[in-house]
Chains A and B, each alone.
Chain A
Amino acid sequence: MTIRDAYALDGKLPSPDARFDLVVIGAGPAGTEAAIAGARAGKSVLLVDENPVAPDLMRTDVPLFYGLRMTGAVETPERMLETLLSTNPLLETAFELGVEVLLGTSAWGLYAPQPGLATLPGQLVGLADATRSWLIGFDELVVAAGARDFVLGFPGWDQPGVMGAMALKMLLERYEAFAGRRIVILGSGDLALRTALAALRHGIEVAGLIEVRACVQGNAALAAQVAAAGVPLFAGSVVTRADGGADGVKQVVITGLSGETSIACDTVCLAIAAVPAIELLAAAGARLAVSATRGGHVPMIDAAGLTSLAGVSAIGDCAGIVSAPDSLAYHAEWLAALARGSTGDTIVCQCESVSRADLLGVQPPAYLGARSECMAARNIDTLLADGPPDQDQIKRLTRAGMGLCQGRRCRDQVSLLLAAEAGLAPDAAPFTGYRAPVRPIPLGILADWAEAPGMSDGWDVWFGVPAQWTPYRDIGTEREAMHIAILGGGHI
């Protein structure tokens, strides 16, 4: 008989609470259509979407960069559910075809058996809503997680009213809950132009588009529509700072060929880029690639959309966003331009209050009060002398990216800043990984309250090695047996 270690994970991880032939993550257009197609093919289908997102999570800029520009409407989940259903008519078709639709439900972890995780009872996806978390098994899983905001900082970006284009689109078109009145948009590519037109359609005033390059970057027809609406384009310009008060942004100051200009606005919308939302796939160990024409880091997929994880495919924006061949260089140009207006005090990581000087100085965060003379002599240059830039190492040392927003607001700028310091091309910029849970989930909700007895019985605080905790002087004495009997396996 094969002996198994009683304190190993073998056989202890729970089976899924339910199984579906097909699970779809994300009920945007691509995901909803995939769910409908699955149901039409006779599959049992679960379609989950994290919207409406809990308002307290929105206030931390998860999963999008909302910049605290939500109206009070987001505080009423029932009302938000109605709005979301009315703004996505395809969902009704999915319901009619028998798709199980769960809104307000996030997918926080995707797990596949692999070397190092052989004890997993098949592929699982972890879900959570406002009251509990659970595990679902599947034959096929389609990730249609969409895009997330690409965020770069500048002086004054760490105040209410600075937000991302994906968040603005969500608040305008799905939530009908955008609180701003007059916005300035950064960027002039298709994303920025579409954002401007969407804002105008919803009665929002667009005070201007700021473009770091010399001319408009997006589609000419879209640009003409924006121009026809009387929206000025400030080309060859960059935001030097956003000024504000208690309610956040009041104006932005831009610097261009003609010097400094102030533009009154209550919102600055970063529409330089949107990037594929790969966090669920990346955390699960799916193979990734860097592609300028697909918007940066994307899952590697075959012609059928399958990722490197068996049965798991990616569709829609999370599989790649059509981008210009020089899109990554464009991101870096924006970073460099915004950095020129920044100072050492400019915040890079809002959650952990890491300034630009601390990041490039590789200093511990100020709240530790742990500065020393030796520490002061260390910086990004001394660190780069030891090897290529490593964003995970920078995270550990400076805490940039270690906060509640899970690095959503700083991961891109830290990566590009490190690449710039190391003289690396943007496509060789360092990449920091994702870990489950890829949404911040409260302890009490993530908890497995129905834990199986096998898990509890086979739980040891460490490895359950009986001899490990015997005091050294008692090793080899008769007292050793006594300690082992009491402190051995099942050390709690």
Chain B
Amino acid sequence: MSGSNVVVIGAGVTGLSTAWWLARSGASVTVLDKGVVGWEASSRNGGGASHYHSPLFQEEQRLWPMMDELLGYPTEYQRGRVIAAMTEKQLTHYHYMADMFLELGYAVDRIDPHQAIAFSPLLSDANLGGIHLHFGGHANPQRTVQAYAWATQDLGGRILQNTPALRLVAEGDRVTGVETAQGLIGCDAVVVAAGPQTAVLLAGIGIDLPLSAARAEMIITEPAPLMPVGGVDGNGLYGRQTLRGNLAYGGGPHEWLDTGPGSPPRPTSPLSRNLARRVAVLFPKAAKLRVIRSWAGVVENTPDGRPVLDRVHGNVTIGVMSGVGFGLSPASGHALRDLVMDGQCSFAEIGKLKLDRFQGLAPDWREQRGWFPAALA
């Protein structure tokens, strides 16, 4: 399919990685986005890259150390991760995870409190130890999404910002184009990787993708001295120390949203104070560091929390990651490129991520889970 015209809807991290992989294979790629590249959850996340459970993980881990060179732009990728416990319950939980990692063949050590502090000196003296992952890592989401976009352009791909996809135009069981306010863009294949908006677009051609979107929040502090391992989770938090030194952390309750077309609302809330408490407990030596921003991102969730990576209707490829997309992006783009061009993933078996697993899903699945917005008072 080299030379074919592929339209990718959604300039988030999954769509952009897919576009880059397609461009590397010689496809003529056009990426559409309603706003600026990586504007939604793709650039508003914790930057984690340690998603052991995914069938894409081995490929992700193979690729991340090479991404700066492959893309030509910096991603700030750092390898390794520490997960430190502040309670016995957390420690038990992290040890279970470590056993699971070992079973899967990923190197991990149990560490005592002193070892944890040696890796990440801002950690509390009262930490109970935890685990040290020799794999996984973290990168800068904002820099990485732009890197994918620029690398795609360097290979001849087009990124059309501020160009929302309004409708998929189908003839028979094939999509022949994407309607935008700027006109119809014809295509040989389409990739829909539009996060929460993916379901709306697919519904227009009769494909039912069950998604529910929610807002999640993070906070960030002023810089602290760099720790030997900056990728530290624990105490109910995910996040990282940036290479500048800032502590960027999220976790905790989310708010379910109605998402239509356009940019979803993403205000932050006083949850910042609960995040601040957990960060201050995990890193008491940083308690004087000032919080300088909070932000929220909107995350799409499938009913089982797993991605949908599938080609349907002949030439429609779906790429939604159910809120765990950033870290896996080097590999998800590869998998989606394979689906578009070859019909199957070349490096992993991903059959359990097909859309048809939701056949027979109860129409009121959101209500059954309570995954719908609270009434506005």
- B274-A455 in contact (CB<8A): yes
Interchain CA distance A92-B256 in the complex, whole Å: 48
A121: B residues at CB distance < 8 A: 377
Residues of B within 8 A of A (CB): 36-37, 43, 52-55, 68, 71-74, 76, 87, 89-90, 93, 96-97, 100, 104, 142-143, 146, 150-151, 154, 159, 161-162, 214-216, 221-223, 233, 235-238, 243-244, 251-258, 264-274, 276-277, 279-280, 283-284, 286-296, 299, 301, 304-306, 322-324, 352, 367-371, 373-377
B322: A residues at CB distance < 8 A: 465, 468
Instruction: State the main secondary structure of chain B at its contact with A.
Output: mixed
Which residue on chain A has the smallest CB distance to residue B267? A117
A124: B residues at CB distance < 8 A: 270
- A118-B255 in contact (CB<8A): yes
Known: A461-B237, A475-B352. A441 touches B293 (CB 8 A): no
Between B104, B256, B283, the greatest number of chain A beta carbons within 10 A of the residue's beta carbon is seen for B256
Asked if A470 CB lies within 8 Å of chain B CBs, one says yes
B272: A residues at CB distance < 8 A: 109, 436-437, 446
- A114-B267 in contact (CB<8A): yes
Which residue on chain A has the smallest CB distance to residue B256? A8
Asked if A95 CB lies within 8 Å of chain B CBs, one says no
Known: A446-B272, A461-B238, A472-B55. A396 touches B265 (CB 8 A): no
* Other-chain contact of B293, A372, A406, A471 (Cβ < 8 Å): A406
- B273-A462 in contact (CB<8A): no
A367: B residues at CB distance < 8 A: 243-244
- A8-B254 in contact (CB<8A): yes
Which residue on chain A has the smallest CB distance to residue B368? A3
- A12-B253 in contact (CB<8A): yes
Asked if A370 CB lies within 8 Å of chain B CBs, one says yes
- A8-B264 in contact (CB<8A): no
Asked if A258 CB lies within 8 Å of chain B CBs, one says no
- B251-A462 in contact (CB<8A): yes
- A118-B251 in contact (CB<8A): no
* Other-chain contact of A368, B71, B74, B104, B352 (Cβ < 8 Å): B74
A133: B residues at CB distance < 8 A: 273
Asked if A378 CB lies within 8 Å of chain B CBs, one says yes
Stretch in A161-169, A248-256, A311-319, A385-393 with 4+ CB within 8 Å of B? A385-393
Write the nearest CB–CB distance from A401 to chain B, whole angstroms. Answer: 10
* Other-chain contact of B53, A364, A466, A469 (Cβ < 8 Å): A469
A111: B residues at CB distance < 8 A: 267, 269-270
The contact string, 1 if C-beta is below 8 Å from chain B, for chain A 127-138, is 000000101000
Known: A118-B255, A486-B96. A368 touches B265 (CB 8 A): no
Between A109, A116, A388, A397, the greatest number of chain B beta carbons within 10 A of the residue's beta carbon is seen for A116
Which residue on chain A has the smallest CB distance to residue B280? A443
- B53-A8 in contact (CB<8A): no
Asked if A228 CB lies within 8 Å of chain B CBs, one says no
B54: A residues at CB distance < 8 A: 472
Asked if A424 CB lies within 8 Å of chain B CBs, one says no
B161: A residues at CB distance < 8 A: 386-387
Write the nearest CB–CB distance from B180 to chain A, whole angstroms. Answer: 14
- B72-A5 in contact (CB<8A): no
Known: A471-B52, A476-B352, A487-B97. 15 other contacts (CB 8 A): A3-B369, A5-B371, A9-B269, A9-B374, A116-B215, A375-B72, A375-B73, A386-B159, A396-B142, A436-B272, A437-B291, A443-B288, A444-B280, A460-B251, A475-B352
Known: A370-B76, A468-B304. A459 touches B251 (CB 8 A): yes
* Other-chain contact of B254, A365, A463, A472, A483 (Cβ < 8 Å): A463
Write the nearest CB–CB distance from A114 to chain B, whole angstroms. Answer: 6
A462: B residues at CB distance < 8 A: 216, 238, 251, 323-324
A-B residue pairs in contact (CB < 8 Å), sample of 28: A5-B256, A9-B255, A115-B376, A118-B375, A126-B270, A370-B74, A374-B72, A374-B150, A375-B73, A386-B161, A392-B36, A396-B142, A436-B272, A436-B294, A437-B272, A443-B286, A443-B289, A444-B288, A459-B252, A459-B274, A460-B251, A461-B237, A462-B251, A466-B305, A468-B305, A468-B322, A471-B52, A492-B90
Known: A9-B255, A13-B270, A118-B255. A440 touches B222 (CB 8 A): yes
A117: B residues at CB distance < 8 A: 255, 265, 267, 269
Between A109, A111, A120, A443, the greatest number of chain B beta carbons within 10 A of the residue's beta carbon is seen for A443
Write the nearest CB–CB distance from B126 to chain A, whole angstroms. Answer: 15
A397: B residues at CB distance < 8 A: 142-143, 146
Instruction: State the main secondary structure of chain A at its contact with B.
Output: loop
Write the nearest CB–CB distance from B201 to chain A, whole angstroms. Answer: 21
B237: A residues at CB distance < 8 A: 461
A459: B residues at CB distance < 8 A: 236, 251-253, 274
The contact string, 1 if C-beta is below 8 Å from chain B, for chain A 1-30, is 011111111101110000000000000000
Write the nearest CB–CB distance from B325 to chain A, whole angstroms. Answer: 12
- A9-B254 in contact (CB<8A): yes
Interchain CA distance A115-B272 in the complex, whole Å: 18
B265: A residues at CB distance < 8 A: 114-117
- B370-A4 in contact (CB<8A): yes
Interchain CA distance A459-B305 in the complex, whole Å: 17
- A463-B159 in contact (CB<8A): no
Known: A109-B270, A367-B244, A396-B143. A492 touches B89 (CB 8 A): yes
B162: A residues at CB distance < 8 A: 387-388
- B377-A113 in contact (CB<8A): yes
Asked if A467 CB lies within 8 Å of chain B CBs, one says yes
Between A393, A465, A473, the greatest number of chain B beta carbons within 10 A of the residue's beta carbon is seen for A465
- B74-A118 in contact (CB<8A): no
A135: B residues at CB distance < 8 A: 270
Write the nearest CB–CB distance from A12 to chain B, whole angstroms. Answer: 5
B257: A residues at CB distance < 8 A: 115-116
Known: A436-B268, A443-B289, A475-B352. A7 touches B253 (CB 8 A): yes
Write the nearest CB–CB distance from B102 to chain A, whole angstroms. Answer: 12
- A463-B279 in contact (CB<8A): no
Interchain CA distance A238-B267 in the complex, whole Å: 42
Known: A8-B214, A483-B100. A443 touches B269 (CB 8 A): no
